[in-house]
Structure 1
Amino acid sequence: MFSLQNKKAVVTGGGSGIGKAIALALTKQGAEVHIIELNMEQAASTLVEIGNGGGKAFSYACDVSDHQQVIDTFSRIGSINILVNNAGIAHVGKVDTTSENDFDRIMNVNVKGVYNCLYAAIPQLRLSGGGVIVNMASIASLVGLPDRFAYSAAKGAVKAMTMSVAKDYLNENIRCNSISPARVHTPFVDGFLAKNYPDNIPEMFEKLSKSQPIGRMGKPEEIGALALFLCSDEASFITGCDYPIDGGFTTLNT
């Protein structure tokens, strides 16, 4: 089950965190993975880990917010079967504490970046006779989160783009779904705590963990497993869906 033998996948932001976990999950099931990443040091580390596990992967330095860079990168990669739009950045702030520059930065990466990759990937998916797209949304697209105005707006756009693409390319054998995680324990979380709460990291880590009813943060590998399923033929009857993976956050919080 879940074999991706002879499949070619692109994972954006695949150098660390959730993107890395997805890249590892896909290669373990036989996919050839092409990682698009700004941080080439992180990308190189992921390639080593994949290689040590017997997988096959390549990396490309590319800013997903740059339209022409993205087109050129996908042209180099050629025909693909899978696209995982994972690259994104975070922001903390309410509408009146979000500067125009910060708002534009979030939209350029988290919205335009997804558009750019979709735009460049569709022709390459057509060359393979169709395929699968998985976009990384967030529970921020489903419920109100405090101090996440720009991030929530961007992830809402990602969820809407997912539904639009699923509808538009249904007859071209292209499936498109999204994943909406709650808080996942990644290096970003550790860096956030070290920067903002250096004197009480354990206490804040526990507080963030307990914001999920299940009592902990998600693991990148758990998001990777869901992405693997959605990319596999076992999910061939699934398109136009969003999958919360949130420890009960969107349904069990009172």
Structure 2
Amino acid sequence: MSAWEGLRVVVTGGASGIGRATAEAFLAAGARVAVLDVSVDDLPASAVGVAADLRDRAQTTEAVDHAAQTLGGIDVLVNNAGISAIGTVEGNDDAEWARVLDINVVGMARASAAALPHLRASSRAAIVNVCSIAALNGLPDRALYSASKGAVLALTFAMATDHVSEGVRVNAVSPGTVHTPFVDRMLARFDDPVAERAALDARQATGHMVSPAEVAATIMFAADPSLPSLTGANLDVDGGVTHLRVRR
């Protein structure tokens, strides 16, 4: 029997991109999956959809509790929901700073707080926070986004420390540039989408963007119940951006 057979997984932001790929990967492995997103009209087959805005604590708690009731508990929480932001520290006003941090950081804390009572009842409990290489690399025009992901990384280490004695493992996964529908929409706005796509591919030492499926596989590794000593870790899946310097 698969290690994932019957595992009860909640994925925030699971309707598209990395979150959708993650939900699909868990489902394909035999897990039961609930997706929390602002819209759950289009979800992977067999996934349970629960509409939720992570900016609202009561709504988040209600959604997580509903997912737990439907699944019969929670073994894994994947904190994937998040938004991007472009610009230097001069490029975003206070309202945008508050919005991004509220979703990317506080929303993750809200979902985790709601899930912890259910996770404590599991013998295979794990939380995986989707971070970014922006947390540890100085990326241009990403001041707000980088700040939010730096906070996510620090939050991951703090949560891992707080809950290790309760049997809840907490890890982060940090993708590089991932080829998602969001990226395709961004490329479509350029005069030469093909050239821009080539430039994005060239950023990685591997010569291509990271696929959502690769990130999903890394998330599953971080949550693997057969790895009880894997906690407080940050796993890069970035095509070598962080540590490799390759001449072409």
TM-score scaled by structure 2? 0.94
In structure 2, the partner of 1:8 is: 8
Instruction: Tell me if structure 1 keeps the 8 A contact 2:2–2:30.
Output: no
- Out of 32, 54, 57, the position equivalent to 1:67 is 57
2:182 paired residue number: 188
- Give aligned pairs, total: 242
Match of 1:52 in 2: none
Q: Given residue 94 of structure 1, which amino acid in structure 2 is its aligned partner?
A: T
Alignment partners' CA distance in 1, 2:206 and 2:228 = 30
CA offset at residue 130 of structure 1? Answer: 5.5
Does 1:230 pair with 2:205? no
Q: TM-score, normalised by structure 1?
A: 0.92
**2-side partners of 1:130 and 1:174: how far apart?**
8
CA distance in 1 between counterparts of 2:31 and 2:177 reads 27
Q: Is it true that 1:220 corresponds to 2:212 in the alignment?
A: yes
Counterpart in the other structure of 1:206: 198
Deviations 1:100-154 (A, max 9, x none): 1111111111011101111101111112246000000000001110000110000
- Flag the 1:39–1:253 CA change in 2: closer, same or farther, 3 A: farther
Q: Percent identity?
A: 39
Structure 1, unmatched stretches of 5+, are 49-55
Measured in 2, the distance between the counterparts of 1:205 and 1:237 equals: 39
Structure 2 counterpart of 1:229, one-letter code: F
User: SS of 2:127's equivalent?
Assistant: strand
Mapped contact 1:27–1:33 kept (Cα < 8 A): yes
Matches of 1:114 and 1:253 in 2, distance apart? 33
| Unmatched segments (≥5 aa) in structure 2 | none
Confirm or deny: 8 A CA contact 1:139 1:244 kept in the other structure.
Answer: yes
Give the Å deviation of 1:74: 1.3
Residues 36, 50 of structure 2: 8 Å contact kept: yes
CA distance in 1, matches of 2:63, 2:243: 40
Partner of 1:162: 156
CA contact (8 A) 1:74 1:120 kept: yes
